[in-house]
Amino acid sequence: MSMTSANQAQRARYNRDAVLSATPVRLLTMLYDRLLLDLNRAEAAQQRQDWQIASDNLLHAQAIVSELSTSLNVDSWDGGEGLFSLYTYVSTAMVSANTHRDPARTRECISLLEPLRLTWHEAAELLPAAPAPAPRLSGELGIG
């Protein structure tokens, strides 16, 4: 096994272990981090007209939004339906950004989702200070 292959295998193992040991809140922030990474990569690829890289990143971002959307329990909190609507809108916008090769649509998705990413991170930072154990995704976060 080459050094590069060994490093890649070690990184994959580390990432897998990080996901498997993550609390539900940490898992959510990891998903948002990757979602925004994908969208930023897609936008950069669109700007340089690298359509395959842009498409790959937009498709991965769509898969993340689909997971967030299907795991969202809209009845567990007042903002659930609004968040579901946002996920639906952003998903449609990503399809449009991909099919029309439109970096402005990708930028729109980034501008809609980045504040949520920051908010989830802020909420996650507050939770360890609370005496209660980490919330379940289906409970306090409205995801399940």
Judge whether residue 11 has pLDDT over 90. no
Instruction: Give the domain range for residue 50.
Output: 24-129
- The reply to whether 81 falls in a domain is yes
> Has residue 90 been placed in a domain?
yes
- Is 102 part of a structural domain of the chain? yes
CB atoms near residue 41 (< 10 Å): 19
Q: What is the residue-averaged pLDDT of the chain?
A: 85
- Burial environment of residue 54 by CB neighbours within 10 A (0 to 12, 13 to 18, 19 or more): buried
Tens digits of residue pLDDT in 107-122: 999 999 999 999 999 9
pLDDT band at 23 (very low <50, low <70, confident <90, very high): confident
Count of domains observed in the chain: 1
Tell me, yes or no, whether 43 lies in a domain. yes
CB 83 within 8 A of CB 68: no
Question: Where residue 22 falls among pLDDT bands split at 50, 70, 90?
Answer: low
Query: CA 100 to CA 105: how far, in whole Å?
Result: 9
In a domain, 136, yes or no: no
* DSSP assignment string, 69-130: HHTB-TTSSTTHHHHHHHHHHHHHHHHHHHHTT-HHHHHHHHHHHHHHHHHHHHHHHHGGGS
Q: What is the mean pLDDT of residues 54-77?
A: 96
CA distance 129 to 11: 30
Could you tell me which residues come within 8 angstroms of residue 143 by beta carbon, excluding any fewer than 6 positions away?
Answer: 24, 28, 68, 71, 72, 73, 137
In the predicted model, what is the mean pLDDT of residues 32-41?
98
Tell whether 88 is covered by a domain.
yes
Indicate whether 24 pLDDT > 50.
yes
Q: Identify the bridge partners of residue 75 per DSSP, sorted by sequence position.
A: none
Could you tell me if residue 125 is inside a domain? yes
What Cα–Cα distance (Å) separates residue 138 from each residue in 10, 90, 133? 32, 22, 14
Confidence of residue 77 (pLDDT cuts 50, 70, 90): confident
| Reported pTM | 0.76
CATH number at 34 reads 1.20.120.340
